[in-house]
Amino acid sequence: MPELRLNLVTREWVIIATERAKRPEEFKSLPTRKAVPDFLKGCPFCPGNEEKTPKETFRINGDKNWRIRVVQNKFAALSEIGEKKRVNNGIRRMVNGVGRHEVIIETPQHDVHPALLPIGHMEDLIHIYKNRFLDAYRDPRVEHVIIFKNHGERAGTSLEHPHSQLIATPVVPAQYRDRMEAATHYFDDTGVCLICDELQSELSEGKRIIMDTGHFVTFIPYAALSPFHTWIFPKRHTAAFSDITEPEIADLAVHLKSILCKLYYGLNNPDYNYVIRSAKPSESRNEYVHWYLAIVPRITRTAGFEIGSGIYINTSLPEQSAEFLRAVKVE
């Protein structure tokens, strides 16, 4: 019989459709990706085309060239120019679109998959995320910062050259507020951080754990919203990603590379998104907020029922999906 499971972190109900469930290996993507060269003349992110990108804001150099570049987005969702102004006109509310939109070009190579980057390169990428996260919050107009990656067409990418993005908004998104309210209520009821409790519950059950090391745990949650929806939780309680230490950066790089490799080899390189969910640095000592990284493979589609009800249908069993990924050998 199907089950309805409540995701306490997101406060969303999920139908685990056991009678429609597929075996994990049935979610493998078809090999439809075309071969791409390691350099593409017309790609603005490839070496030698630096003049095709807007202003560079940060870089890490390699032996012969840059390893990672950060540039302003040519088609930015928000503008860095202007004052933050709020307008209330009757029932209408408006804030002018100031903020920041950066692109993190992850590697000079056009054809490399993020899962196949060397572990040291992955550490550099996380260092860049931390640097840009902190820098964005120095802007007094910024209320919230999101670091995310779109990999593949179904995940929303427009350029195939490996890259991530940062968007800093002048308002706090409703989704973030809703989750913080859930965390606040849980803390008021129990005196314990919801994420910390979720982590301990998953560790005690063990069935959905993919990887457990000194600083992080990677797992598929009990009420995963979609097939292979994966969370990476830091074991140490802190509200802000910017608090991450050097040993934690090294450990997170291992987890991120490992899970991306498992998706790459186990599910034949599916499209996916990942996002860092975090409070702002000034709230890092908050007792009920706990930052984490979410990875969402785009191997099913949201349809009318999900849009109309806010209830997700997951056609995979989280326990079986975790078992499948644990068994995937990575290089």
* Catalytic residue numbers, as ranges: 163
Give alpha helix (H) positions in the chain: 119-137, 174-190, 194-205, 246-266, 304-309, 318-327
Among residues 149, 53, 68, 143, the alpha carbon closest in space to that of 99 is found at 143
145 beta partners: 168
Q: Which residues face 296 on adjacent strands?
A: 273
- C-alpha 146/C-alpha 190 separation (Å) is 29
Q: Which are the contacts of 221, defined by CB distance < 8 A and separation ≥ 6?
A: 7, 9, 198, 202, 208, 229, 231, 318
CA 103 to CA 125: how far, in whole Å?
A: 12
> Residue 9 class from Cβ within 10 Å (0-12 exposed, 13-18 middle, 19+ buried)?
buried
Closest CA to 8 of 145, 230, 199: 199
Buried b (16+ CB within 10 A) or exposed e, 278-287: bbbbeebebe
Tokens of 270: 């599916």
> Pairing state of beta strands 312-314 and 12-16?
parallel
CA 187/CA 289 separation, integer angstroms: 9
Q: Are β-strands 3-7 and 92-95 bridged in parallel, bridged antiparallel, or unpaired? A: unpaired
How many CB atoms are located within 10 Å of the residue 39 CB?
15
